[in-house]
């Protein structure tokens, strides 16, 4: 009882239960709290670092893993002829590349691959080792069907990408005009080079998000639209071009010549309808190309224009009143001396009327007329019609030719230039110069691009003078002239031959010739000027009238027919226009 009462007075101390007394020291709990707090602070710090301080780096790393930039390829412009026929166009083809570090193929697959690609093992290894660890070209610009077979092998680490290859349907006939591109789609020659800027497109790009399977799922950022290259429409008529090429090719082969060129100009617009050279090349197979094949001779080769200069001198004489149409020029005895140097006619005549000077191509007659003029007058004439001037045709390699300033001319030079020696020009320049007669006294600027408007000309002679000279040119290409073979069926023609020893070093080669012919048709209202040149005809026949004039004739006839020009000469028709009644058959 006593015990109970004591306990009631003292009471029980609940606050300090021995059960509640912690067995561990209290600093440990504080330590844990501090640690957890510290952990959170660390995380916060890291979060701040990631989100604020070094955010850019992490954003970039993230983007790298899902964002991709897709190239959107642009297309190189096409090259068309005047009627819209393709002369060059780009076609997408697969190119095969590999990731060398990923590449693996069992031996039989590898053999099949090498067989398809027509490669030996050594070459393949070399290709594989040629790039980095992540990229090596195996074969560029492969046939699509071949790629389909390669793809079917399912080789690891082998991929395709699309590249553009250039196709040239007209092949060798237009090769010099169109030119070609290299494997990187950069123009190397011809129009492909001259109009590289306009033809080439600009590749576009767009940012996208790809999922794990490689599907594009979202656009991000700014897309750059690709811009395709511009189409270029040339003045060339593929039909005329082809025909001109065929004819000059035949002539070169027939006369075993070294080369030949043809230029066809539209008189009204100054457009180049055809510009063909032989030898030529196939733009699709360029592995064994020689410089001779590549040369666009009609534009790059210069030579002395020879007798084709004579009509200009006669025309200037008529224009300035230094000669008259009815003048009889004394050409006896077939030679004359200027500053101690003899000038000769190949076929001497006692005297010639003015038209006959051109018809018979008399050097002496022409020199007599030219010596009545001032050097300055002649120089102005020559440069007005384009001699010594660079043709404005935005075509690479077009040469200027040579025409010396008149102040340095000696009398003998004034004399020889009158019949075409001592100055030089390309075939295109000669053809262009003849537009002065074809256009009634105006010379027209030539163009390689299609023109829809007649081009303005630069007046050099009066229309009357031009018409008179045209008549002389018609005589030269007629019976009794130097080039009767220039006659075309159904169309009146006129023109002038030229034949010259080729220049070699400082002199002339005795057995190498160049033959050419420049003319126009129809003669009353010329529509085209055609110039033909054959280099080094090798079969003994070498006169322009025999070698170049027949080509002129055929090209004129075909071109005018293609241009729908009605014949201006009577032709004995070989067509039967009425159905003949048939005899009733008996049986």
Q: Decide: is 90 part of the binding site for other proteins (CB under 8 A).
A: yes
In the complex with other proteins, the residue whose CB is nearer, 133 or 213, is 213
Q: Decide: is 575 part of the binding site for other proteins (CB under 8 A).
A: yes
Q: What is the DSSP letter of 504?
A: E
Among candidate residues 482, 387, 479, the one with its CA nearest the CA of residue 436? 387
Applying the rule CB under 8 A, the residues between 208 and 237 that interact with other proteins are 208, 211, 215-219
Residues 288-327: x/- map of binding to other proteins (CB under 8 A)? ----------------------------------------
Q: Decide: is 42 part of the binding site for other proteins (CB under 8 A).
A: no
Q: Which position among 9, 61, 287, 574 is part of the footprint of other proteins (CB under 8 A)?
A: 574
Q: Decide: is 337 part of the binding site for other proteins (CB under 8 A).
A: no
Q: What is the DSSP letter of 255?
A: T
Q: Are 423 and 403 in contact (CB under 8 A)?
A: yes
Q: Decide: is 413 part of the binding site for other proteins (CB under 8 A).
A: no
In the complex with other proteins, the residue whose CB is nearer, 41 or 91, is 91
Minimum Å distance from CB 86 to other proteins? 4
List b or e across 107-135, with b for residues whose CB sees 16 or more CB atoms inside 10 angstroms. eeebebbeebbebeeeebeebbeeeeeee
* Angle between the N-to-C axes of helices 121-130 and 107-117, in degrees from 0 to 180, rounded to the nearest 10: 90
Minimum Å distance from CB 231 to other proteins? 12
Among candidate residues 96, 95, 89, 86, the one with its CA nearest the CA of residue 75? 89
In the complex with other proteins, the residue whose CB is nearer, 13 or 574, is 574
Give the span between the Cα atoms of 145 and 94, in whole angstroms.
Answer: 10
DSSP H stretches of helix in 388-462: 411-418, 427-433, 435-438
Dihedral of CA atoms 240, 241, 244, 246 in degrees, nearest 10, equals -110
Residues 64-83: x/- map of binding to other proteins (CB under 8 A)? -----------x--------
Q: What token pair was written down for 309?
A: 């200069």
In the complex with other proteins, the residue whose CB is nearer, 90 or 181, is 90
The SS3 assignment for 402 reads strand
Binding span for other proteins by CB under 8 A among 95-103, 443-451, 540-548, 568-576? 568-576
Applying the rule CB under 8 A, the residues between 109 and 148 that interact with other proteins are 144
Q: Are 265 and 528 in contact (CB under 8 A)?
A: yes
| Residue with tokens 């009609």, as numbered in its chain | 298
Applying the rule CB under 8 A, the residues between 474 and 513 that interact with other proteins are 489-491
Q: Decide: is 21 part of the binding site for other proteins (CB under 8 A).
A: no
Q: Decide: is 207 part of the binding site for other proteins (CB under 8 A).
A: no
Q: What is the DSSP letter of 360?
A: T
Q: Decide: is 37 part of the binding site for other proteins (CB under 8 A).
A: no
Q: Decide: is 253 part of the binding site for other proteins (CB under 8 A).
A: no
Minimum Å distance from CB 95 to other proteins? 13
List b or e across 380-405, with b for residues whose CB sees 16 or more CB atoms inside 10 angstroms. ebbebbbbbbebebebbbbbbbebee
Q: Are 264 and 555 in contact (CB under 8 A)?
A: yes
# residues near other proteins by CB under 8 A? 41
Question: Of 307, 362, 447, 553, which residue is the catalytic one?
Answer: 307
Sort strands 216-224 and 67-72 into parallel, antiparallel or unpaired: unpaired
Give the span between the Cα atoms of 356 and 354, in whole angstroms.
Answer: 5
One-letter-per-residue 3-state SS of 135-180: CEEEECCCCHHHHHHHHHCCCECEEEEEEEEEECCCHHHHHHHHCC
Give me the residues paired with residue 208 across strands: 68, 219
Give the span between the Cα atoms of 495 and 476, in whole angstroms.
Answer: 7
In the complex with other proteins, the residue whose CB is nearer, 234 or 381, is 234
Dihedral of CA atoms 363, 366, 369, 374 in degrees, nearest 10, equals -90
In the complex with other proteins, the residue whose CB is nearer, 249 or 349, is 249
In the complex with other proteins, the residue whose CB is nearer, 92 or 221, is 92
Q: Which position among 67, 68, 86, 383 is part of the footprint of other proteins (CB under 8 A)?
A: 86
Minimum Å distance from CB 176 to other proteins? 16
Residues 145-184: x/- map of binding to other proteins (CB under 8 A)? -----------------x----x-xxx-x-----------
In the complex with other proteins, the residue whose CB is nearer, 2 or 215, is 215
| Residue 307 annotated among the catalytic residues of the structure | yes
Q: How many Å from the N-terminal Cα to the C-terminal Cα in the chain?
A: 168
In the complex with other proteins, the residue whose CB is nearer, 129 or 576, is 576
Question: Would you tell me which residues interact with other proteins (CB under 8 A)?
Answer: 75, 85-86, 89-92, 144, 162, 167, 169-171, 173, 208, 211, 215-219, 238-239, 242-243, 246, 489-491, 557-558, 561, 566-567, 569, 571-575, 577
Active site residues: 307
């Amino acid at each position: 009882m006593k015990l109970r009462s004591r306990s009631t007075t003292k009471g029980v101390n609940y606050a300090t239960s021995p059960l509640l007394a912690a067995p561990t020291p209290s600093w440990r709990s504080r330590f844990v709290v501090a640690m957890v707090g510290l952990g959170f602070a660390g995380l916060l710090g890291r979060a701040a670092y990631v989100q604020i301080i070094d955010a850019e780096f992490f954003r970039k790393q993230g983007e790298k893993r899902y964002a991709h930039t897709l190239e959107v390829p642009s297309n190189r412009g096409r090259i068309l002829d005047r009627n819209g026929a393709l002369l060059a166009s780009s076609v997408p083809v697969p190119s095969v590349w590999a990731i060398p570090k990923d590449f693996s193929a069992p031996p039989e697959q590898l053999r099949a691959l090498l067989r398809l690609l027509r490669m030996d093992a050594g070459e393949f290894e070399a290709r594989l080792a040629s790039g980095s660890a992540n990229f090596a070209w195996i074969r560029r610009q492969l046939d699509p069907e071949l790629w389909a077979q390669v793809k079917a092998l399912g080789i690891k680490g082998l991929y395709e990408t699309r590249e553009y290859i250039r196709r040239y349907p007209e092949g060798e006939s237009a090769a010099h005009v169109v030119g070609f591109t290299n494997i990187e789609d950069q123009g190397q020659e011809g129009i492909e080079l001259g109009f590289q800027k306009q033809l080439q497109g600009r590749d576009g790009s767009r940012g996208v998000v790809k999922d794990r399977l490689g599907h594009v799922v979202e656009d991000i950022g700014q897309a750059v639209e690709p811009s395709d290259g511009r189409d270029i429409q040339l003045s060339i008529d593929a039909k005329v071009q082809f025909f001109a090429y065929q004819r000059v090719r035949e002539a070169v082969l027939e006369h075993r010549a070294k080369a030949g060129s043809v230029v066809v100009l539209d008189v009204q617009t100054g457009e180049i309808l055809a510009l063909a050279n032989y030898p030529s090349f196939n733009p699709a197979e360029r592995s064994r190309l020689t410089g001779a094949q590549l040369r666009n001779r009609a534009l790059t080769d210069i030579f002395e224009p020879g007798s084709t200069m004579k009509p200009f001198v006669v025309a200037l004489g008529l224009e300035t009143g230094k000669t008259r149409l009815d003048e009889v020029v004394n050409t006896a005895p077939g030679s004359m001396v200027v500053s101690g140097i003899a000038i000769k006619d190949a076929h001497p005549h006692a005297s010639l009327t003015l038209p006959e000077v051109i018809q018979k191509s008399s050097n002496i007659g022409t020199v007599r007329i030219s010596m009545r003029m001032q050097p300055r007058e002649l120089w102005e004439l020559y440069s007005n019609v384009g001699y010594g001037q660079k043709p404005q045709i935005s075509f690479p390699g077009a040469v200027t030719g040579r025409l010396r300033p008149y102040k340095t001319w000696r009398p003998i030079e004034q004399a020889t230039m009158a019949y075409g020696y001592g100055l030089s020009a390309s075939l295109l320049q000669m053809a262009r110069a003849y537009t002065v007669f074809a256009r009634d006294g105006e010379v027209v600027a030539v163009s390689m691009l299609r023109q829809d408007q007649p081009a303005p000309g630069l007046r050099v002679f009066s229309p009357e003078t031009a018409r008179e000279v045209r008549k002389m040119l018609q005589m030269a290409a007629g019976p009794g002239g130097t080039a009767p073979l220039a006659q075309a069926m159904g169309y009146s023609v006129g023109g002038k031959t030229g034949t010259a020893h080729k220049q070699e070093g400082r002199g002339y080669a005795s057995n190498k010739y160049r033959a050419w012919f420049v003319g126009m048709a129809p003669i009353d209202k010329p529509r085209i000027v055609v110039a033909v040149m054959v280099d080094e005809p090798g079969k003994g026949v070498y006169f322009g009238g025999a070698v170049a004039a027949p080509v002129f004739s055929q090209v004129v006839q075909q071109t005018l027919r293609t241009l729908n020009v009605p014949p201006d000469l009577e032709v004995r028709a070989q067509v039967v226009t009425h159905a003949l009644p048939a005899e009733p058959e008996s049986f």
